[in-house]
Amino acid sequence: MTRYEIVKRSVALITLTNPPVNALSSAVRLALSKNVERAMGDPEVTAVVICGENGTFCGGADIREFSEPLQGPPLLPLLDAVEAGEKPVVAAIEGVALGGGFELALFCHYRVAHYKSRLGLPEVTLGILPAAGATQRLPRLIGIPASLQMITTGQHILAQEALKLGILDQVTQKNVCEVAVEFALGAVGMSGA
CA–CA distance, 177 with 169 (Å, rounded to integer): 14
Active site residue 83: no
For residue 21, the 8-state DSSP code is T
CA–CA distance, 2 with 105 (Å, rounded to integer): 16
For residue 63, which amino acid is it? I
Strand ordering across the sheet containing 11-16: 2-7, 11-16, 47-52, 89-93, 110-114, 170-172
CA–CA distance, 52 with 17 (Å, rounded to integer): 7
Catalytic residue among 86, 103, 161, 182: 103
Catalytic residue among 5, 123, 178, 182: 123
CA–CA distance, 85 with 164 (Å, rounded to integer): 27
Active site residue 37: no
CA–CA distance, 95 with 125 (Å, rounded to integer): 20
Catalytic residues: 103, 123
